[in-house]
Amino acid sequence: MLPPKKVNVLYEIKNVTNYVISIFKNFTNICFFHHNFPQPKKFKKVKYYLIKLFICLIIINSYRVITMATLLEEGICIIKDKKVAERFLKDLENPPKTDWREIRKRIKQIEKELEEGEEWAKKMKL
Amino acid sequence: MGKENEIIVPLKILLEEHDEEKVKTLLNSFSCSKNLEVENFLKNSAILFEKLNKSRTYLIFKRGTTDILAYFTLTISILKIVDDDVSKKTLKKLDGISKEKREFPVYLIGQLGKNDKFWNEISGKEILEKAINLIYKANEIVGGRVILIETLNNEKPIKFYEENGFKILQKRLDKKVDKNTGKEIIAEYVQMYRII
């Protein structure tokens, strides 16, 4: 989970990356695929580095997309606000009364359902 | 539709019993136009997360068929308090030992959604009940005190979770780019919790 400011910064990085990628695409198109464009020997090395850089940019780009994720993907929930934290801790201090007998029944029920499900998974024709 | 007409299958078992490509094709039949993230997760990430043991996905089928009515994903997560002003006395009371402990392990219902095609054949309450029952099962073995969910900031899902014992924790904004369309998505999420 990222704070909005960090989200904005990362989003700008993404935009800049996209822009740079588009420039490189055009540049490589002109340099390597246009017959009239002069191609000295040293250009081969440049071409190699440009391709490497281009791949790096794509990786950075895809990483950013992964970074902006749901709680499930991020794996951590951060509480920054004191009021939110105090409210949560207060609730945790005074948990609701739990009927464990009822819960055990529910556990048995779901175990039975899972057993049935596993049997069905084996028979299922996909 | 009653419990006798549906069947719950762990994705892990499906992957053990069947060819991965066939499972993928099956998952691709799921659609959830109300929340594309729910749909995309099942299609693109659920199998990977299952293999990495990052989460567990459970599919609810119509009994005797391969029709996915709904699914949900469970995992363990961490809730961290970063504000230093939070009462140390309270923290110690909660942890029992340390007054510096600001991280709480939580059960996370990472995804929960119904298939568009069978929208009226299962209720959200039934899906949530199954998810919570499985969390109770985990709780009996390893303990734990909090269930966390994250939903879009819409009145309907918030009300639904509140009716089922969840309370609002906080909101957060998220910007992302849709990999398929390249369009920018700005979403506001609400994180909610329930004490076990």
Cβ neighbours for A110, distance < 8 A, ≥ 6 positions apart:
B8, B130, B133, B134, B136, B137
- Mean of pLDDT values over B171-179: 76
Cα separation, B122 vs B62, in Å, equals: 9
Pick B35 or B15 by higher pLDDT: B15
Give yes or no for B171 touching A (CB within 8 A): no
Give the pLDDT of residue A30. Answer: 57
Pairing of strands A76-79, B6-10: unpaired
Structure tokens at B21: 């490509």
Residue from the list B9, B26, B170 with its beta carbon closest to the beta carbon of A79: B170
Cα separation, A126 vs B29, in Å, equals: 12
- Mean of pLDDT values over B75-98: 82
Give yes or no for A66 touching B (CB within 8 A): no
Q: Is the pLDDT of residue B74 over 60?
A: yes
Q: Is the pLDDT of residue B1 over 60?
A: no
pLDDT classification of B165: cutoffs 50, 70, 90: very high
pLDDT in tens, A72-118: 877 889 998 889 998 998 998 888 888 999 999 999 999 999 999 99
Taking contacts as CB-CB distances below 8 angstroms, the residues of chain B near A114 are 8, 10
- For the packed helices A100-123 and B124-142, what is the interaxial angle rounded to 10 degrees? 110
Residue from the list B8, B87, B193 with its beta carbon closest to the beta carbon of A88: B193
Give the pLDDT of residue B157. Answer: 93
| Pair A71, A41: CB distance under 8 Å | no
Mutation pick from B16, B50, B112, B177 vs chain A, by most beta carbons of A within 10 Å, is B177
Give the pLDDT of residue B38. Answer: 93
The nearest alpha carbon in chain B to A82 belongs to: B83
Cβ neighbours for A85, distance < 8 A, ≥ 6 positions apart:
A79, B81, B83, B86
Give the pLDDT of residue B129. Answer: 96
Give yes or no for B51 touching A (CB within 8 A): no
Taking contacts as CB-CB distances below 8 angstroms, the residues of chain A near B147 are none
Q: Do B9 and A121 touch (CB under 8 A)?
A: yes
Alpha helix ranges (H) inside B43-123: 46-51, 88-95
The nearest alpha carbon in chain B to A81 belongs to: B83
Give yes or no for B75 touching A (CB within 8 A): yes
Cα separation, B156 vs B63, in Å, equals: 28
Sign of CA dihedral A122, A126, B3, B4: negative
Q: Do B133 and A106 touch (CB under 8 A)?
A: yes
Q: Which of A88-92, B54-58, B70-74 is predicted least confidently?
A: A88-92
Q: Do B174 and A68 touch (CB under 8 A)?
A: yes
Q: Is the pLDDT of residue A8 over 60?
A: no
CATH of B3-195, one of 3.40.50.150, 3.40.630.30, 3.40.50.10240, 3.40.50.300: 3.40.630.30
Give yes or no for A59 touching B (CB within 8 A): no
| Pair A74, A1: CB distance under 8 Å | yes
Which long-range CB contacts under 8 A does B25-33 form with residues at least 24 apart?
Answer: B25/A126, B26/A126, B26/B66, B26/B68, B27/B68, B29/B67, B29/B68, B29/B115, B30/B68, B30/B71, B30/B115, B31/B115, B31/B116, B31/B117, B32/B113, B32/B114, B32/B115, B32/B116, B33/B116
Structure tokens at B102: 């600001």
Give yes or no for A122 touching B (CB within 8 A): yes
Task: Please report where in the chains the tokens 């819960």 appear, as a residue.
Answer: A103
Pick A83 or A34 by higher pLDDT: A83
Cβ neighbours for A96, distance < 8 A, ≥ 6 positions apart:
B165, B195
Cβ neighbours for A7, distance < 8 A, ≥ 6 positions apart:
A68, B173, B174, B175
pLDDT in tens, A35-86: 555 556 666 677 777 777 777 776 665 554 434 467 787 788 999 888 999 8
Distance from CA of A32 to the nearest CA of B (A): 27
Give the pLDDT of residue B102. Answer: 86
Task: Please report where in the chains the tokens 């549906």 appear, as a residue.
Answer: B6
Give the pLDDT of residue A65. Answer: 42
Give the pLDDT of residue A68. Answer: 45
Distance from CA of A56 to the nearest CA of B (A): 18
